[in-house]
């Protein structure tokens, strides 16, 4: 029995997927099997025809992303953003009111939000204070048998990488027992630190990716689950029919072309350059206590008074992300790195508040 079958929630294991017209397939020249319109939509460019359903899943996009990420096509599932990947994993592996996941705060809040929405338990193994590393000791205190462990690498909102040896310790600890899901939404900012090359040799390792961050395509809603084929097959049983809109698949294919990836790399470098300059200037401000080291396109900043800073900036039209509600992050705000003008406006405003 595959690991995915062993861990699958019972209500999913024997689920027969919905047989959409494209999933059933069939080759012909007169397709009358999906109740589509034979005519084009209003005001469409002549070369576009969107009246037909897209592929069940865009296999050309999975293949292209696999080439980009360094993994075979059957290790890739295209999803509507990484968020859909989180939702699919929780629904596929967790039985409501019985199973649980582990989260390591401070981290991305969607893991426990989605778990709670599906009545799945949430166990907490907080990261270590200040360094925000996995605390292996905390996992020993987890008494239940979690099905999924969510890690974020680099972590949002702290901006740091997790130690590889700790992640390895967790995949070993949970081998045959749970999947370790590594959310690599920000990995383009530090591509050599991906765990992607460990997937084939680690059956319980799953990676989440997105085009929403370094690829600048947040509105297009394209993400990927990278995992061994047994996990991918289980998730694709559950995914909605025709999840990926055809125009979005085409935009994504273009972004993943050789030129598209080079373009992303240049923009990424520009963001990293801006981040370094902003970091230096922030540290000099009287309102700032600490700027945490970051490998991403955002900075976690400890302010003397985060509420005053947040409100002052908001009253000048600058909106940061308040982190003060997270345990251990009192008076912390997260700043996304924008373009030069955005950053100048932010720094000027903070300097005025200081004055």
Residues making contact with ligand PLP (CB under 6 A): 81-83, 108, 152, 156, 183, 185, 210, 212, 218, 223
Nearest distance from C-beta of residue 200 to ligand PLP, angstroms: 23
Report, in Å, the least distance between residue 256 CB and ligand PLP: 15
- CB closer to ligand PLP, 81 vs 121: 81
Min dist CB 185 to ligand PLP, Å, is 4
CB closest to ligand PLP, residue no: 81
State which residue, 117 or 218, has the beta carbon closest to ligand PLP. Answer: 218
| Min separation Cβ 303 and ligand PLP, Å | 21
Which is closer to ligand PLP, CB of 185 or CB of 350? 185
The alpha carbon of 269 is separated from its chain's Cα centroid by a whole number of angstroms, namely: 20
When the beta carbons of 22 and 80 are compared against ligand PLP, the nearer one is 80
Which of 152/214 has CB closer to ligand PLP? 152
Q: Minimum distance between the CB of residue 152 and ligand PLP, rounded to whole angstroms?
A: 5
Closest to 265 measured CA to CA, from 192, 336, 329: 192
Q: How far apart are CA 139 and CA 284, in angstroms?
A: 38
Query: Could you give the CA distance from residue 134 to residue 123 in angstroms, rounded to a whole number?
Result: 14
Give the nearest distance from C-beta 160 to ligand PLP in angstroms: 13
Report how far residue 322's alpha carbon sits from residue 313's, in angstroms, rounded to the nearest whole number.
12
Which phi and psi angles does 2 have, rounded to 5°?
A: -70, 160
CA–CA separation, 11 and 327 (whole Å)? 35
Find the shortest distance in angstroms from Cβ 220 to ligand PLP. 9
User: Which letter does DSSP use for residue 178 in this model?
Assistant: -
Strands 298-303 and 332-336: antiparallel
Task: Report whether the peptide linkage leading into residue 154 is cis, meaning its omega lies within 30 degrees of zero.
Answer: yes
| Beta carbon nearer to ligand PLP, 106 or 223 | 223
Nearer to ligand PLP, 57 or 350 (CB): 57
**Shortest distance (Å) from residue 138 CB to ligand PLP:** 20
**Torsion angle, CA of 304/308/311/317, rounded to 10 degrees?**
-60
CA angle 136, 137, 143 (to 5 degrees): 105
Nearer to ligand PLP, 120 or 185 (CB): 185
Burial class (CB in 10 A: 0-12, 13-18, 19+), 184: buried
Query: Nearest CA to 343 among 299, 303, 309, 306?
Result: 299
Contact between 9 and 99 under an 8 Å Cβ cutoff? The reply is yes
How far apart, in whole angstroms, are the C-alpha atoms of residue 69 and residue 62? 10
């Amino acid at each position: 029995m595959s690991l995915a079958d062993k861990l699958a929630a019972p209500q999913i294991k024997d689920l027969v997927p919905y047989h959409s017209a494209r999933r059933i397939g069939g080759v012909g020249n007169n397709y009358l099997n999906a109740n589509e319109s034979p005519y084009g939509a209003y005001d469409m460019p002549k070369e576009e025809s969107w009246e037909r359903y897209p592929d069940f899943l865009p296999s050309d996009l999975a293949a292209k992303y696999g080439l980009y990420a360094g993994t075979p096509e059957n290790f890739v599932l295209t999803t509507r953003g990484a968020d859909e990947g989180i939702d699919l994993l929780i629904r596929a592996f967790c039985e409501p009111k019985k199973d649980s996941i582990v989260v390591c705060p401070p981290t991305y809040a969607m893991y426990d939000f989605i778990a709670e929405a599906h009545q799945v338990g949430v166990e907490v193994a907080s990261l270590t204070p200040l360094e925000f590393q996995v605390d292996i000791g905390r996992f020993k205190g987890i008494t239940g048998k979690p099905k999924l462990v969510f890690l974020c690498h680099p972590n949002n909102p702290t901006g740091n990488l997790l130690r590889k040896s700790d992640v390895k310790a967790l995949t070993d600890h949970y081998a045959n027992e749970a999947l370790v899901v590594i959310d690599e939404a920000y990995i383009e900012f530090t591509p050599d630190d991906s765990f992607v090359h460990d997937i084939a040799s680690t059956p319980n390792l799953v990676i989440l990716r997105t085009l929403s961050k370094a690829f600048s395509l947040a509105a297009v809603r394209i993400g990927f689950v990278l995992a061994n084929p047994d996990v991918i097959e289980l998730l694709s049983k559950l995914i909605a029919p025709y999840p990926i809109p055809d125009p979005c698949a085409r935009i994504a294919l273009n972004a993943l072309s050789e030129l598209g990836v080079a373009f992303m790399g240049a923009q990424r470098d520009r963001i990293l350059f801006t981040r370094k300059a902003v970091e230096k200037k922030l540290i000099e401000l009287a309102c700032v206590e600490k700027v945490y080291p970051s490998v991403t396109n955002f900075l976690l900043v400890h302010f003397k008074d985060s509420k005053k800073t947040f409100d002052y900036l908001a009253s000048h039209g600058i909106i940061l992300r308040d982190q003060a509600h997270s345990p251990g992050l009192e008076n912390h705000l997260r700043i996304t790195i924008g373009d030069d003008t955005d950053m100048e406006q932010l720094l000027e405003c903070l300097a005025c508040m200081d004055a």
